[in-house]
A and B are shown apart, each in its own frame.
Chain A
Amino acid sequence: MISAPDVVAFTREEELEDDLYREPPLPEEYSVPLFPFSGQGANPWAKVAGSKFTRDFILISEFSEQVGPQPLLTIPDDAKVSGTFDLNYFSLRIMSVDYQASFVGHPPGSAYPKLNFVEDSKVVLGDSKEGAFAYVHHLTLYDLEARGFVRPFCMAYISADEHKIMQQFQELSTEFSKASECLKTGNRKAFANELEKKLKDLDYTRTVLHNETEQQKKANDKGYYTTQAIEKANELASVEKSIIEHQDLLRQIRSYPYRKLKDSEFHPYEPECALDRADVGNDQDLAASNPTEPGETPLYTHVPSYTPKLIKAKSAKCFDKKLKTLEELCDVYFFTQTLDQLHHIERTFRGDVCYLLTEQISRALLKQQSVTNFLFEDVSFLDEKPPEKQYRGCQGLGQDAIDEKCSEESLAPKVVISLGSYKSSVECVPIKMEQEMEDSEEPKMSESVISEHQENLDYLDADIKGSISSGESIEVLGTEKSGSGLTKSESQASLPVMPSPQAGRSKVGSRRTVSEDSIEVLSTCPSESLIPEDFKASYPSAINEEPYADDDEGGLRFAPRANPGANDGQDDASKQESLVQVDAACCIRKESPNFLEPLPELGQKPCEEDGVVRIPPQPYRPAEQGLRGGFPSHDGLSAGLLPYELDSRYLSGGREVSKSSLDECSDSTSYISSAASTCSDRTPSPAHLGSAAGDRHRKRAGQNALRFIRQYPFAHPAIYSLLSGRTLVVLGEDEAMVKRLVTALSIFVPNCGAYAKPVKHWVTSPLHLVDFQKWKLIGLQRAMSPAGVNVLHALSRYSRYLSILDADSKTLRCPLYKGTVVARLADHRTQIKRGSTYYMHVQSILTQLCSKAFLFTFCHHLHLPISEREPEESVVSRRMNFLKLQLGLSNEDIKIVQYLAELLKLHYIQEPGQGGNPLLRFDYVPSFLYKI
């Protein structure tokens, strides 16, 4: 039965709430508020239906001294993107925002013009008329011909979603700063060159004038100066003054304190820099001592091609000259670099903000999860910094010189986001709203900070959940405060902090409701067209599948009663589960009474009475990295929650899991499919995921994997082999086919802690034992040559270590699999159609496995006796009980978790320096031959 709260979750807008609830006639549970923009044929996810552009884009504008504000270019450079959006008007808007004007000219008390090295200014701007919101990054470039030597520019990230701009402000600012830095570096270089040329011109002019004056002197012996001579002398004087001024400018531009570069990742390319600087010192002296020999001064030797021109006393009229283009203002190289960076920004921030935030959170959390993240995550994912290929080339070259310069300089500029600064620069709604929100948020936050860290974890957990389950949760803006509170709690988590069963129980109830809601939401989705085709079909079938129902029942054994806050039944419950008792008792070494206090309000906090998850994903910043491979508790599962809590989620989770991944996608894609209907690329580009190549690879691998599980009825044992660390050999004649299969299966291969997946796509020589240590998935050529016979011989010899998938005859020889995890992982009846979706589905289940393995690995009493006299057998039986009952694993699934746990152990105990011997673990189990 569909209940109102679920629908409300979808459509309710904050403003409408009051009006609608004032109307009495409908019972509350049936009141469905109208979707405010329904008249325009839009969908609920399109927050601003009035926007005139189809997707986010970047605009670069200039405040031209000749024509005023004008748009220069957009990224992506596609007319369709901006649509009917008035770029000129918007340029005017963004350029009219007050920014820190850089003062150049003659400051009072100074003889020479002074260049100000101003910080860029960053503001957020909203335009409700245009339905556009923008992050605006102002910068000034130097131009000798420009008024006051400066040309104001700005880069703006324009989006229809103000939340995105607000919440991603920090990230946008960082990224745009890089682009701006790149531009300015190029500009400084170009400006310096320009100055040099100008100086040369002036020198030449002076020489000419000087000669002329001398000639005049000689020709004129009358003892008094003609007006002509006086004019010449004046001219000469002004030229000399100009020379001094320009030399000073040159000195200034060259002594630019590279302070900005110190902490940013960006290291501009300046190969000639050191040389230039060395020369600068001599510059003035030389110019002074040898004024008549400009061509011979070392300063100019490296630009020999330039022939100085005579400078007329009066330059051309201001409006006659053509201003330099942006490309001319910067070096071409730097200009393209900047464009690359901007394209990168565009790709990164494309898509729904919810998706971006989820992505950022999971990334930040994954980074912290140093114990388990190596298993299934992308390597690039774990890099400290998002990969930036654009700058790779220059990093190596300019690094040393720049490091030197940086070392003595001050810190990188800090982008201080204070609400006040927003306010000063932004005229419309968003800021006010945030302030309000922050106020309302604050008490909650402080509360959670004070209370036990486990709650925080849980809160965080709920956060994540919220981001998954609700389509419209981005109502409350994340605040810095909440972020830091969470971070703190993160760092506090460590293994022995197992929350009491009671606490766990109360949380489960609420979590379950959240997830239920999310299911319903999908099902009541008002318009079929809103669901991407992938999910349309999958949804109902996913619900009705029997195996999952079985799972549910199995899970009930340990699933807690879902009555949060009810203290009474808990005691006998824990008595009943004597095993749990034992486990908990030794997990919580110092049982603090705090743990035992049920905290109902905490469980409910994330979801209010109507089930709307109000707390959006918080832009999470990994502040403390002091976890030293310790216990980066990601979502509370790994660090603190009780085993049976896992159960309740996992066992019942067959469909929930698949669903939650579906939800996640629907969130991110729906925005695009509706609001950006013309957008061709419907997959959201994951934020900061790095290269698009990795994305493509994932999509392809997912697609291939989907095909594999549909095509091969014995996909389960094959995947089981991979998950349990038994090398799978894909044997075939056709290289392309084998490679495709290997690619497909590679997403199931746990990493052994090395930096690349243990996958070998194509081998033609006989395999050896060492290969099985190194690779867990091998594509092998089947050849009819004598060499091929050897290959097959080796295969049969080492068959006990191998599972062999014969791609030609479509057979599989491998151990039996009777577990349930793989069935969830690779259901051949799955309705998921897109590779990237399936990839995410797989990732989510693998993550669950990881957390189980983590729990298993780091439970002290499962591996070591509690007391000294305890026999080994009882430890073993406790271990098996834990695996079976608490983790809910059956049959071969145990082996998967054991293998993952073994990898975790190896990874953890491995000393950083040494590589560690790769070891091969195996079982003596019979293999079976599967045929289609």
Chain B
Amino acid sequence: SSVQTIGEEQIQNPYTELLVLKGHQDIVRFLVQIDDYRFASAGDDGIIFIWNAQTGEKLYELHGHTHKITAIAPFSSSDVTEENTDLIITASADRTVIVWDCASGRQVQKVSCFHSTVKCLTVLQRLNVWLSGGSDLCIWNRKLDLLCKTSHLTDAGISALVELPKNCVAAAVGKELIIFRLIASSNGSEGWNILEVKRLVDHQDNISSLVSVNDLTFVTGSHIGELIVWDALDWTKQASECNFWDSSVHPDVQPEIKLSQSPHETSVQHLTSDEECVFAAVGKGIYVYNLQMKRVIACQRTAHDSSVLHIEKLPNRQLISCSEDGSVRIWELREKQQLPAEPVPTGFFNMWGFGRANKQANQAAKKMHENTPVYFLELVGDLIGHSSAVQMFLYFGELGLATCSADHLIILWKDGERESSLRSLTLFRKLAQNGDLQLRL
């Protein structure tokens, strides 16, 4: 099926102004928010930039890593007594981890005692510690003291970490999901012990994404498109959707499409969630899985021309996705009005353009959604600016949207109307400063 296009007229797309932020020399892979107006970017050139999201001003350029950055995490201090410094932690392929001070742009400390590349970093704000995951899992405190580390787990290393309730973390190691528990050591005030609690081996393939939905639930996705919903407390499988991408489930989809799907195209690239739904970027498509109904309520089979790399749910029922095809698309989850009298294909099937669906399929579809509201994802806008894969984006609310890409650029997308009125405000402020508002006699 062809990718839905929206054309040039996009009334609902607020982003009518952009700023190109140049600085990186290589693929930019990571964007992290530091506070309300700052964010950091990092990528394969090993440089970290700190930007002002409002003005696009480059605040700091942090040099220290010699290889590409593999993970980045912000670490804002939760402790009130300490002076409030925003830190960011970066891990690199040069097997070092550096802690930076965002306020001064200086390197606070550097750790280089790793045996392998740290692939993921997680900050447990509550415990005021952070974890690094590579071939083993280490626990560090704010001062970068190594508190505890596990034994060598695997050569492949931990690909993802997520915090669970009761001082637990889930680590994705290959096909396995390992649950660790942090136990405060009895002797020291700040000592922690780490204990492997459980190994979950339900996935058939490598776990590619891991996201915590709420205190009770977390979700994993694998390379062959399995999506498993876990109970966060007892680590049992609540539900799984192992082939929801599979067109055979949906009888109205032509079978040849299924054949064309390579494993890569079914990989769960990224997961995100709100309280009700899990949004999965699977191959080129986006799927919305409702936790309550335990099924996919809406999907966009080919949301992009190539793999979707990152998706994010916005507060206003909107969803943003970015893809290897270099575009960013804004979707809105809408409820489709049921038209009971007419046996036409329902909403989202129709949107794919399969008008030739047979009668049987129609009936099946109708049956399927008989009593439930039907949702569909409508394309409300797309942002074209990058000339290469858009790796990630960061939603800054009304400040706009920052996207980073393999074309070495970061683009800040902004609401032109808002920017314009902000500029007016600045203008009149400056006028008042200069005294030009006063009558000169």
* CB neighbours of B416 from chain A (8 A): 921-922
Digitize A900-924: 1 where CB-to-B-CB distance is under 8 Å, 0 elsewhere. 0010011011000000011111111
Q: Which residue of A lies closest to B421 (CB)?
A: A863
Picked from B57, B387, B436, the residue with its CB within 8 Å of the CB of A769 is: B387
Interface code B411-441, partner A: CB below 8 Å = 1, 0 otherwise?
A: 1001010011101111110110010111111
Inter-chain contacts of B7 with A (CB < 8 A): 926
* A908 pairs with B420, CB closer than 8 A: no
Binary flags per residue of B3-40, CB closer than 8 Å to A gives 1, else 0 = 00001111101001111111000000000000000000
Q: Does B55 contact A (CB under 8 A)?
A: yes
Binds B, one of A10-18, A415-423, A489-497: A489-497
Most buried by A among B381, B423, B428: B423
Complex interface residues of chain A between 772 and 817 (CB less than 8 A to chain B):
773, 794, 797-800
A926: chain B residues at CB < 8 Å are: 7-9
CB atoms of B22 and A770 under 8 A apart: yes
Instruction: Verify if A581 is at the interface (C-beta below 8 Å from B).
Output: no
Q: Given the interface contacts A864-B425, A902-B423, does A495 sit within 8 Å of B8 by beta carbon?
A: no
Q: Is the CB of A794 within 8 A of B387?
A: yes
Contact: B439 with A909, CB < 8 Å? Answer: no
Which of A594-632 touch B at CB < 8 Å? 628-631
A857 lies within 8 A of chain B by Cβ:
yes
Q: Contacts A908-B430, A922-B16 given: A864-B387 contact, CB under 8 Å?
A: no
A363 CA to B411 CA, complexed, in Å: 40
Q: Are B440 and A769 in contact (CB under 8 A)?
A: no
Please, which residues of chain A bring their CB within 8 A of the CB of B385? 769
Q: How far is the CB of B60 from chain A (nearest CB, A)?
A: 16
Report whether B8 and A927 are in contact in the complex, using a CB–CB cutoff of 8 Å. yes
In the complex, whether B56 has a CB less than 8 A from a CB of chain A is yes
**Residue B249 is within 8 A (CB to CB) of chain A in the complex:** no
- In residues 192-227 of chain B, which contact A (Cβ within 8 Å)? none
* B18 to chain A: closest residue by CB: A920
User: Out of A495, A773, A898, A925, which one reaches B437, CB within 8 Å?
Assistant: A495
Are A798 and B19 interface neighbours, CB within 8 A? no
Query: Which of B20, B386, B427, B439 contacts A494 (CB under 8 A)?
Result: B439
Contact call B8/A909, Cβ cutoff below 8 A: no
- State whether A497 touches B384 (Cβ < 8 A): no
Q: Known contacts being A769-B385, A769-B387, A921-B416, is A864 close to B8, with CB within 8 Å?
A: no
Q: List residues of chain A with CB within 8 A of the CB of B414.
A: 919
**A860 within 8 Å of B (CB atoms):** yes
- In the complex formed, the residue of B with least CB distance to A497 is B439
Closest B residue to A767 by beta carbon equals B387
Is A389 part of the binding interface, using a Cβ–Cβ cutoff of 8 Å? no
* Complexed CA–CA distance, A493 and B420 (Å): 26
Q: Which residues of B lie under 8 Å from residue A497 when comparing CB positions? A: 439
A629 — which chain B residues lie within 8 A by C-beta?
434, 436
Residue of A nearest to B20 (CB): A770
Select the residue from A863, A918, A923 with max chain B CB neighbours within 10 A: A863
A-B pair count, CB < 8 Å, reads 113
Decide yes or no: A863 and B425 within 8 Å by CB, A496-B437, A496-B439, A773-B20 being known contacts. yes
Among B18, B381, B431, the residue within 8 A (CB) of A919 is B18
Min C-beta distance of B217 to chain A, whole Å: 38
Please give, as numbers and ranges, the residues of chain A lying within 8 Å of B440 by CB-CB distance: 491-494
Residue contact B19 to A917, C-beta cutoff 8 Å? yes
Given contacts A492-B440, A902-B423, whether A922 and B17 have CB atoms under 8 Å apart is yes
Contact with A along B48-74 (1 / 0, CB 8 A): 000000011100000000000000000
**Is A925 touching B9 in the complex (CB atoms < 8 A)?**
yes
Q: Provide the residues of chain A in CB contact with B17, threshold 8 Å.
A: 919-922
- Measured between alpha carbons, how far is A497 from B439 in the docked complex, in Å? 7
- Shortest Cβ distance from A570 into chain B, in angstroms? 24
Question: How far does the Cβ of B407 sit from chain A's closest Cβ, in whole Å?
Answer: 8
Q: How far is the CA of A590 from the CA of B441 in the complex (A)?
A: 14
Q: A494-B439, A921-B416, A925-B8 are in contact. Are A800 and B19 (CB under 8 A)?
A: no
B18 contact set on A, CB distance < 8 A: 769, 919-920, 922
Could you mark each residue 16-56 of chain A with 1 if its beta carbon is under 8 Å from any beta carbon of chain B, else 0? 00000000000000000000000000000000000000000
Task: State A924–B17 Cα separation when bound (angstroms).
Answer: 11
Q: Which residues of A contact B425 (CB under 8 A)?
A: 863-864
Shortest distance between the CB of B183 and any CB in chain A (Å): 50
Taking a contact as CB atoms under 8 Å apart, the answer to whether B434 and A768 are in contact is no
Nearest-neighbour CB distance to chain B for A813, whole angstroms, equals: 11
Kindly report which residue of chain A lies nearest to residue B411, judged by CB atoms. Answer: A769
Cβ of A917: which chain B residues have Cβ within 8 Å of it? 19-21, 55-57
Contacts A492-B441, A497-B439, A909-B430 given: A798-B384 contact, CB under 8 Å?
A: yes
Q: A926 to B56: give the CA distance in the assembly, Å.
A: 29
- Check A924–B11 contact: CB distance below 8 A: yes
Query: Given that A769-B385, A924-B11 are known contacts, is A905 also in contact with B441, CB under 8 Å in the complex?
Result: no
Q: How far is the CA of A773 from the CA of B419 in the complex (A)?
A: 16
Q: Are B427 and A857 in contact (CB under 8 A)?
A: yes
A898–B7 Cα gap in the complex (Å)?
A: 24
> Are A924 and B8 also in contact (CB < 8 A) when A628-B434, A917-B56, A919-B17 are?
yes
Asked if B16 contacts A921 (CB within 8 A), the reply is: yes
**B-contact 0/1 string along A416-445, CB 8 Å cutoff:** 000000000000000000000000000000
Residues of chain A within 8 A of B411, CB atoms compared: 769
Tell me if A864 and B384 are in contact (CB < 8 A): no
Q: Which residue of B lies closest to A630 (CB)?
A: B436
Give, as a whole number of angstroms, the nearest-CB distance from B372 to chain A: 34
Complex: chain B residue closest to A872, CB-CB: B421
Contact with A along B360-395 (1 / 0, CB 8 A): 000000000000000000000100111100000000
Given contacts A494-B438, A495-B431, A927-B8, contact A800 B384 (CB under 8 A): yes
In the bound complex, what is the Cα–Cα distance between A496 and B440 (angstroms)?
10
Whether the pair A905, B427 counts as a contact (CB closer than 8 A) is: yes
Chain B residues with Cβ below 8 Å from A920 are 17-20
Residue of B nearest to A921 (CB): B17
With A and B bound together, what is the CA distance between A631 and B426 in angstroms?
A: 17
Q: CA separation between A905 and B385, bound complex, in Å? A: 25
What's the nearest-Cβ distance from chain A to residue B248, in Å? 35
Q: Distance in Å from the Cβ of A905 to the closest Cβ of chain B?
A: 4
- On chain A, the residues within 8 Å of B19 by CB distance are 917, 919-920
Bound complex: CA of A926 vs CA of B10, how far in Å?
9
Task: Name A492's closest neighbour in chain B (CB-CB).
Answer: B440
What chain A residues lie within 8 Å of B9 (beta carbons)?
A: 924-926
- B430: nearest chain-A partner, CB-CB: A909
Contact B56 A494 (CB under 8 A): no
Task: Give CA–CA (A863, B428) in the complex, Å.
Answer: 9
| Complex contact A628–B426 (CB within 8 A) | no
Expressed in whole angstroms, the minimum distance between the Cβ of A776 and any Cβ of chain B is 15
A800, B383: Cα distance in complex, Å: 10
Interface residues of B in 335-358 (CB under 8 A from A): none
Check A909 against B427 for contact (C-beta < 8 Å).
yes
Partner of A924, one of B16, B387, B438: B16
**A800 is contacted by which of B8, B11, B439 (Cβ under 8 Å)?**
B8
Partner of B434, one of A630, A799, A902: A630
Measured in the bound complex, the distance between the Cα atoms of B409 and A719 in whole Å is: 31
B residues 208-260 with Cβ under 8 Å of A? none
Chain A residues positioned under 8 Å from B427 (CB to CB)? 857-858, 863, 905, 908-909
Chain A residue with minimal CB distance to B438? A494
Question: Given the complex of chains A and B, what is the CA–CA distance between A860 and B436 in angstroms?
Answer: 13
Q: What are 30 A-to-B residue pairs whose CB atoms are below 8 Å?
A: A491-B440, A494-B436, A494-B438, A494-B440, A496-B439, A629-B436, A630-B431, A769-B385, A769-B409, A794-B387, A857-B424, A857-B427, A863-B424, A898-B420, A902-B420, A905-B427, A917-B20, A917-B55, A917-B56, A919-B56, A919-B419, A920-B17, A920-B20, A921-B16, A922-B16, A922-B17, A922-B416, A924-B8, A924-B11, A924-B13
Known: A495-B436, A770-B20, A918-B20. 8 other contacts (CB 8 A): A492-B440, A631-B436, A863-B425, A905-B424, A919-B17, A920-B18, A924-B9, A924-B381
Those 9 A-B pairs whose CB atoms lie nearest each other, nearest first = A863-B424, A924-B10, A630-B436, A905-B423, A917-B56, A926-B8, A909-B426, A921-B17, A492-B440
